[in-house]
Structures are given as structure tokens and as C-alpha cells.
Amino acid sequence: MIYKRILDLKNLKSTAFVFGPRLTGKTTLLKSLKSNAYFDLLDPELELAYKTTPGTFWQQISALPENSLIIVDEIQKAPVLLNYAQMSIDRNHQSFILSGSCARKLKRGGANLLGGRALDLKLHPLTCDELDEYFSIYQALTHGTLPKICSLIQQKNTPLAVMHLKSYITTYMKEEIQMEALTRNLGAFHRFLNVAAQSNGQIIEFTNISRECSVPSSTVKEYYQILEDTLLGFFLWQYDTSERKKARPKFYFFDCGVVRAIQNRLLDPPTSIEQGCLFETWFVNELIRLRDYMGKEHQFSFWRNRDHEVDILISGGHGPILAIECKSGKTDIKSATVNHFKSHFPNVPLIVASLTDTRPKKTNEIDVLPWESALTFYKKTT
């Protein structure tokens, strides 16, 4: 099934990088565009040819008319081609769409990122708006929202969807980690991945994870950076005006189905505790997807002060503008936490995004909204 994506590349008037995790539908989206040339660097022969004689790429794109649209899929496989892309933009007024699932090799390898000539766009798993009538919050928490997985579930082929999710990490380890030589110790990284999945959405204790994986804390931090650079997840840092105090972030995987696959939990329904963490993971990811697609200049963090914590604090250019607590059960946000938060941020709205409530209500003078309404509230936030 082909989904209508919010990220609109057909009306793009500029060169752009399009980064997204594996299986988010980058290739499907790119192949729907009318281009003058399409280069698929997943083809190993093409990748080797351009690595061996990259000048061939320049000869081929130079033969295309001015103002041509050129697509290069998986550009991180041959970063040297970016030099020719810049020459083509400047000399031939051609534009490029350059996709990839790993920004690490480009950023760490000193690749030419086109010096402000390209937009930096993101393609995520499907949002609830993109799934529209096919969206199920239960399926989003249990199996995630990768397009292929959603299609299989809609075809009532959940067993095959589970098999694809299980193979996701095997493919990731082989093609993103081993082939790109991101770490020499694959065994240690695989152990770390399992521990990191169990710690999804929790405050990271690097020393504890180091002990469980039998690797130094510095290596654990490097492994987390690999996960972030390969778009498998992201850090959510504690809000604090002092950068020095931001030492214990949370880490969220990008998709609930993928993290449950790593945890080997796909065949079991989520427990109540697991459901709470999955709902928070999905909701934070959904906010980030909306931010990126709507072009909002927002930063996300969590707020913590002693025993009080709020899951998501959204900041604009002048500081915090909205706070959201995620609730998957009947437990209300504590009045002490509300009062403590309000004493620090008296003018910042605090709302609860509820998984179970179907109608808005007020508790401890706080609006408790169904998760759909909470997302709408964020969409209207500037």
C-alpha cells in the first residue's frame, strides 16, 4: 500500500538531503518523483564504480540539461559524489535530492554537505495523519508505524510483519554497523543494543549499562552516538539553563515495533508498565515528526526537579512554551508536581496527553486531553 506522505518533495524548488531510518519509505517517495536521473547506490556495482572512478558521475550529470533534477539514493555509500553535486549546482544550475539512512559517515568523515546549498529534511515512520483511517494506537504501540509493517498488518498478515521487524536489527547490524565499520566489536555492540532497548525512555545510567555490557562508559557513550547517528533513536535531554547539569539524558528509539523487536517482545501483548513506556515513546516521536514536517523551530526536553518530573517540555526561541505529561492509565498527575512545575514556569501551559480518556477533563486544574486532542494542541502552538 502506498501512503500519502506529509513530506512533499514534488513541489521542492531546492536541493535537499532527505535522511530517515531504514524502511521509512525514502526510496518509494523518491521513485514517485519525476527526475532526469536516478542513481541507486544500494546497487553494489554502481557503488563500487563510483568509488573507483567518481569522475564518471560528473561526466554523466554534465550531459544532463540545465535545471535537471537528479536523485541519489543512499548518498553516504559514496560521499565523494557530493563534490560533483556542488559543482553541478553552481555551474549547471541542477538540483539534487540526496537520501540516506546514516548521517554519521557524512558528518564524521568530513563530507561536503554543500555549504548551505541544501535543505535538511527528515522522513519518519508514518504519522497518525498519514495513516488516517488505518491508524490504530494499539498497533502503533505494539508493532510501530513503518510503512511496510503497517501494510502487512492491514493485509491481516501480522506473522509476516513480525518476521520483518525481527529481521530489522539483523539487517541494521549487517548493513549499517558491519559494512560501514562503525565499530570493531560487533558482539559488544549487540549486547549494548539489547540493554539500550530495555532502557528505552528511561534516564540513562552510563555506568550501569557499562557494567552490563562489559565495556567502558566511554564506549557506551560512543555506542549511543552510533544509534543516534544511524537514526535508530535520539537523546532527550533534561531542561536546565546550565549546560553543565545536562549529564543524564533519556534515550528513545524511533519506532515502538523496532524497540519491541530488540526486546524480543513482539509475540506478547504489552504489559501495563510496558504500555506506559511505549505510549510515551510513540507520543514523543509523533511530536518530533510533526515538528519536522511543519517546520516548527522547537526543541524538546524533559523537566525534572527532585522527585518531580514532566515528560516533555517544548521550548521556542524565548524559552519553554508548552509542557506535556503522558499518561497511559487512570493515574492523575500529582498535584505536588503541578504546583512545583507552575512555581518554575507560571506562564507555561501544562497538559496531560491521555491514552485512555476519550473526552477532555480537568484534574488538579490541569487539562487532561485524549492523545489526539493533545497533538492538535501542539499543532496550534507557535
Of 282, 293, 276, the residue nearest 253 (C-alpha): 282
Q: What is the pLDDT at residue 270?
A: 94
> Which superfamily does CATH assign the domain made up of 15-122 to?
P-loop containing nucleotide triphosphate hydrolases (3.40.50.300)
Query: What does the alpha-carbon distance between residue 101 and residue 296 come to, in Å, rounded to a whole number?
Result: 22
pLDDT tens-digit profile of 159-205?
Answer: 999 999 999 988 888 777 776 656 778 888 989 999 999 999 999 99
Strand 250-253 and strand 37-40: the pairing is unpaired
CATH number for 296-379: choose from 2.60.40, 3.40.1350, 3.40.50, 3.30.70. Answer: 3.40.1350
Topology (CATH level 3) of domain 128-276: Arc Repressor Mutant, subunit A (1.10.10)
Q: Find all residues with CB under 8 Å of 240, minimum gap 6, and list them.
A: 246
Provide mean pLDDT across the span 105-122.
76
pLDDT tens-digit profile of 37-68?
Answer: 999 999 999 999 999 999 999 999 999 999 99
Task: Say how many residues make up the chain.
Answer: 382
Asked whether residue 244 carries a pLDDT value surpassing 60, the answer given is no
Q: What is the pLDDT at residue 179?
A: 66
Query: What does the alpha-carbon distance between residue 197 and residue 105 come to, in Å, rounded to a whole number?
Result: 24
pTM for this predicted structure = 0.93
Grid coordinates in use for 138?
Answer: 494499539
How many CB atoms neighbour CB 323 within 10 A? 24
pLDDT tens-digit profile of 194-211?
Answer: 999 999 999 999 999 999
pLDDT tens-digit profile of 322-370?
Answer: 999 999 988 888 999 999 999 999 999 999 999 999 999 998 889 999 9
Q: What is the pLDDT at residue 91?
A: 94
Grid coordinates in use for 111?
Answer: 563530507
The domain segmentation of the chain, as residue ranges, is: 15-122, 128-276, 296-379
pLDDT tens-digit profile of 127-147?
Answer: 999 999 999 999 999 999 999
In whole angstroms, how far apart are CA 335 and each of 306, 340, 370?
15, 8, 20
Grid coordinates in use for 246?
Answer: 545536562
